[in-house]
Amino acid sequence: MQTRPLTVYSTRWCGDCQRVKSFLDKFAIPFVEIDIEQDPEAAAYVQSVNDGRRSVPTLVVGDRATSLSGFTREKFDAFLAQHELAPQR
């Protein structure tokens, strides 16, 4: 069960972002979404944790940020396992 908040940094036009959010919704994993095109501080944060790239989606749990750009189900499942986020089916 998730005890730490999950934040998804995204943009409206990002297909990988849409897929990540769809899977999170499907598995009933709550998250907060931040659109980096609407929030300059969020965009700067995403760049700071991705070697200067505006890589979205960037998912953050606690103080650990992970880019899932180039989304695959395998990357998503590895992210869930790494952060002990169990899907609710």
At 5, the pLDDT band (50, 70, 90 cuts) reads confident
The predicted pLDDT at position 74 comes to 94
What are the respective helix, strand and coil percentages of the chain, to the nearest 5?
Answer: 35, 20, 45
CATH (residue range 6-82): 3.40.30.10
The whole-number pLDDT of residue 4 equals 66
Distance of CA 63 to the CA centre of its chain: 13
What confidence score (pLDDT) does residue 23 get? 94
The pLDDT tens digits for 42-77 are 999 999 999 999 999 999 999 899 999 999 999 999
Q: Are 1 and 86 in contact (CB under 8 A)?
A: yes
